[in-house]
A and B are shown apart, each in its own frame.
Chain A
Amino acid sequence: KNEVEQSPQNLTAQEGEFITINCSYSVGISALHWLQQHPGGGIVSLFMLSSGKKKHGRLIATINIQEKHSSLHITASHPRDSAVYICAVNSGGSNYKLTFGKGTLLTVNP
């Protein structure tokens, strides 16, 4: 079992819909990252959080440390949001180690 599990693996939505992508992890962490990767493109950091909630534009990320769960929400989705969204956790300590989920492929249709 992967230490980081994302759901769903694939998600198709209509423009304007509210999107939720989930991430569950099994290890203790110091931080959780949400990343975005467009097809054939590089990886962009969206959020890094260790507690509570962060918001940037139409994107909202939440984390529940006790439940070892995080969600990424996209409000008023747009076709340009179509990408792979990746959850990664930092187990902390002096040596850096990010453990990645396999990603969620989001397709937003106009």
Chain B
Amino acid sequence: DAGITQSPRHKVTETGTPVTLRCHQTENHRYMYWYRQDPGHGLRLIHYSYGVKDTDKGEVSDGYSVSRSKTEDFLLTLESATSSQTSVYFCAISRTPNTEAFFGQGTRLTVV
């Protein structure tokens, strides 16, 4: 199994609070991604990173920010959580844009 760990695995938070999710990899893959998974939708890309300090927006980036200060860590921050951000969040890594992607176990976030 690819070495990719998400933390926390579960979190309940209140509306308006900041939340940070962490994705840690031990594979030294250049590309890292954050997705959200919601019923009735396929996985949707929030943000991705193509190197240290190199990030870009995905299709559902509003309300989210990311940071990547070192190769192994990619952080997703909800600056002020809203109920619409209740979801399961998946991190993924890949060596290049066109190679196999490996996914973390997911983080279930509930905003109340």
Counted as pairs of residues, one from A and one from B, with CB atoms less than 8 Å apart, the total is 61
Cβ-defined contact, A44 with B103, below 8 A: yes
Q: Which residues of A contact B48 (CB under 8 A)?
A: 96
Taken together as a complex, chains A and B put the C-alpha atoms of A4 and B102 apart, in Å, by 20
Q: Is the CB of A98 within 8 A of B105?
A: no
Against A, the Cβ 8 Å flags (1 = close, 0 = not) of B36-48 are 0000111111001
User: How many B residues touch A, CB cutoff 8 Å?
Assistant: 25
> What residues on B are CB-neighbors of A30 within 8 Å?
98
Residue B33 lies at the interface, judged by CB distance under 8 Å to chain A: yes
Our pick among A4, A88, A90, A102 for the contact of B98 (Cβ within 8 Å) is A90
Is there a chain A Cβ closer than 8 Å to B74's Cβ?
no
Chain A interface residues toward B at CB < 8 A? 2, 4, 30-31, 33, 35, 41-45, 48, 86, 88, 90, 92-103
